[in-house]
Structure 1
Amino acid sequence: MILASPFAICILAITGLALLGLPIGLAMMVGSIGYLWLAGMDMGTVAEQFLNGMYSNYIILAVPLFIFAAEIMNSGSMTERLLRFCNVLVGHFRGGLAQINVIQSLIFAGMSGSAVADAAGSGRMMQNMMTRENRYTPSYAAALTAVTAVVGPIIPPSIPMVVYALVSDASIGYLFLAGVVPGLMMTLVQMVQVVRDARRNDFPVEPRVPLREVPRITLAAIPTLLMPVILLGCIYSGVTTPTEAAAIAAAYAVLVSVLIYRSMTWREGYAALRTSAKTSAAIGMMIGGAMVFNYVVTIENIPETLRRMMTGWELTAVQFLILVNVILLLLGCVLEGTAILLIIVPVFIPTAQALGIDMVHFGIVVIVNIMLGLVTPPYGLLLFIVAGISKAPMRDVIRDSLPFLGWMAICLAIITFFPGLVLWLPRLAGYGG
């Protein structure tokens, strides 16, 4: 790449503007406009690519709908009732509150599709519960909240899976199914680590919920627990598309919060709608900017050039996946996950296809990598979120999260080297890959 070429200037402009604090979506648009101008091309192509990317992809509608559903659950009492139900299941074990944190993230994952929504919503409540009366240190509560929130986008539904399907043309339904086993694996190793920590640190044992209270708590949680059942049932029965199922999830969350639990006021509903709109607009701007930049990348023939280069290296499929893991884990330390999915991953896809790697398996490997990046020092986004909530020193939060991160890295290796484990459920559902 010649430093004075339009593409080199485009990359430098995007990098410089992003470092100066401009949102990455806008930085990509500005850099792409500069490329088209320097190359003597029609700059109106930017608007064309932006509009085509945003309005011709029906699948993108699922993103704001899942975000809105998560905000409604956090605004109403759905999350609180879920936590009480989790307390019935595991609260009476040593380190019970920590185990509740793990279990609620698993269940909440089947509703929101967002790690940030999990950490900032139910995760905030869990941190408050765990640190009350000094049961757990703020740093441990924060670290556990961060690493358990990672499961959110791996268990269906998943906003990153929607974005990956957008850039790879992989089936969302099969991607959702492929995430189930890896998500359960990660939940299991987190629970194992909590057991080890509970024994070593003598974590407190919570009072057992009286038996007479169990039916009432369970009954109150049923409408919340039915949400993932309805959502996934609609998708895999063929009744709805994933986007339509996202709309049903949002409508169901409103119905339960307003009519069944009667726990959400007009003010809270408006706040949830406003927050969802802001988050969706930010993601939409990033997607639009990535569409424009990907047009530039296509003009420069970067994916094909990379494919030929890697073919020259004579990499096997396993070696390629190891290389992708290393690159994505390093990028995850400094870049936001959606940016990686939209900018970096499309460059890898042609090579992965040429090597015969299944696109659903590849998608799960990519998404698990990106989720690990959310809790990888020094710039893991979830680490900053939970540290801000808990007011714990970042170094302590990182220290307490490292054992969990080690376990999840082992899960990533298993997922990478044993694609049959990932594709087992999709194949049961008829997937031919």
Structure 2
Amino acid sequence: MNFASPFSLTLWAITILAILGLPIGHAMIAGSILYLLIVGQDMGIAAEQLLNGLYNSYVLLAVPLFLFAAELMNVGSMSDRLLHFCNAFVGRFRGGLGHVNVVQSVIFAGISGSAIADVAGTGRIVIDMMKRDNRYTASYAAAITAATAVIAPIIPPSIPLVLYALVSDASIGYLFWGGIIPGLLMGLGQMAINTWVAHRRNFPVEAAVPVRDLPLITLRALPVLLMPVILLGGIRGGVMTPTEAAAVAAAYAFLISLILYRSVTAKQTYVAVLSSARSTASIGMLIAGALVFNYVVTIENIPQTVRTMLAAYDLSANQFLLAVNVVLLVLGCLLEGSTILLVVVPIFIPTAVALGIDLVHFGVVVVFNTMIGLITPPYGILLFIVSKVSQAKLGAVVRDITPFIAVMIAALLFITYVPETVLWLPRVMGYKG
């Protein structure tokens, strides 16, 4: 590799700027402009690629809308009702609040599509519940909260799957259906680990909720529980596209919180809009940077170069998937998941197609993989968030989360080499791939 080539200098510029503290999206834009300057192309191409990519991608509208729906759940009483419902059914078992943590994340995943939204909302509440009266250690409460939050970007609606659809042209609707079984598989694995740890450490059993109270608790939480059903039912029935489903999710969360639960004020709504706007701007800049940098990658013919290089090793589809999984797991320790999906994954897509790998299967696998990076040290963002929220030492959180990471990697290998775990539901829904 020529370390003085225009592309190498671009990579050096992006890396140095990121190390100096510039957001990665801005760093990619600056590095790409440097590339255009060195090769003598019009630097206005950067703005053209950025604007065309953002304004021609209708699917991206789903991102702010799903974030807004999650924020409304958090500022209203929807999250509290959801937790009460989960506790009524699984809190009675050994390590019950750990099971509550998993189940609420599975349900919340069908609404928000964001791991950070999960931790920031219901995650804060359940950590406090687990720490109360020293029933669970702060580090374990933080660890299981971070681990379960990773379910949110797997089960639809999923913002990372939206981003993958953007770079791969795969059907976002079928990607959504493909994420359901892997997400549930991840949840079952986490509940198994929680059961094992709970018996080893003798975690408490919560007081059982009387059976006579279950109908009322379920009724109070029913509007929240219906939300994922309405979204997936609408998509399946052809009533709405996934992007329109995001708008329905936001409107539904707002109307339920305002009219039925009467738990959202005008000030809280403003705060929710502001918070979701900040998150959208952050993701938007990252997407913008990736769009410009991907133009540079295309000009340099990097995907074809990688494809040729891999062809020299004569890899089978299974060997290729193993190599991609290893690379993404390593990168997940160092880079943010959206960056990997927008910049690194597109390089592998042509080779995946050439090897006959289904793009829906490949998409769910790479999203599942990159989301594990949210909880792997040294730069797993969820580790820092839950450590701050729980006031637990980061080292202790990492120790307690290790068994969860192990079972998630095992689940990753399972869905990688048993494609039907991903493709069965999409095919039931009409997918021909």
TM range (shorter): over 0.9
**Equivalent residue, structure 2, for 1:346:** 346
**Equivalent residue, structure 2, for 1:380:** 380
Deviation at 1:313, TM superposition (A): 1.1
User: Which residue type is aligned with residue 213 of structure 2?
Assistant: E
**Equivalent residue, structure 1, for 2:204:** 204
Cα deviation digits, residues 115-171 of structure 1 (max 9, x gap): 111111101100000000101000000000000011111111100000000000000
User: Which residue type is aligned with residue 157 of structure 1?
Assistant: P
**Equivalent residue, structure 2, for 1:276:** 276
Whether 2:394 is the aligned partner of 1:394: answer yes
CA distance in 1, matches of 2:198, 2:298: 52
Deviation at 1:316, TM superposition (A): 0.4
CA distance in 2, matches of 1:401, 1:421: 25
CA distance in 2, matches of 1:426, 1:46: 37
Whether 2:219 is the aligned partner of 1:214: answer no
Cα deviation digits, residues 8-41 of structure 1 (max 9, x gap): 1111100100111101111011001111011110
Match runs of 1:6-405 below 5 Å = 6-405=6-405
Deviation at 1:200, TM superposition (A): 1.1
CA distance in 1, matches of 2:100, 2:23: 36
CA distance in 2, matches of 1:421, 1:241: 24
CA distance in 2, matches of 1:4, 1:310: 24
Deviation at 1:279, TM superposition (A): 0.4
CA distance in 2, matches of 1:145, 1:420: 29
CA distance in 2, matches of 1:228, 1:315: 40
Structure 1: any 5+ residue segments left out of the alignment? none
Corresponding residue pairs, total: 433
Deviation at 1:211, TM superposition (A): 3.2
Whether 2:408 is the aligned partner of 1:408: answer yes
User: Which residue type is aligned with residue 54 of structure 2?
Assistant: M
User: Which residue type is aligned with residue 418 of structure 1?
Assistant: V
Match runs of 1:418-429 below 5 Å = 418-429=418-429
CA distance in 2, matches of 1:420, 1:219: 35
Secondary structure in structure 2 of the residue aligned to 1:121:
helix
Secondary structure in structure 2 of the residue aligned to 1:423:
helix
CA distance in 1, matches of 2:113, 2:257: 19
Cα deviation digits, residues 322-377 of structure 1 (max 9, x gap): 00000000000010000000100000001111111100010011011111111112
Deviation at 1:65, TM superposition (A): 0.5
User: Which residue type is aligned with residue 69 of structure 1?
Assistant: A
Give the TM-score of the pair, scaled to structure 1: 0.99
User: Which residue type is aligned with residue 414 of structure 1?
Assistant: F
Cα deviation digits, residues 235-259 of structure 1 (max 9, x gap): 1110111000100000000001111
Secondary structure in structure 2 of the residue aligned to 1:177:
helix
Give the TM-score of the pair, scaled to structure 2: 0.99
CA distance in 2, matches of 1:87, 1:299: 54
Deviation at 1:208, TM superposition (A): 1.4
Deviation at 1:215, TM superposition (A): 2.2
CA distance in 2, matches of 1:172, 1:298: 23
Among the aligned pairs, what percent are the same residue? 63
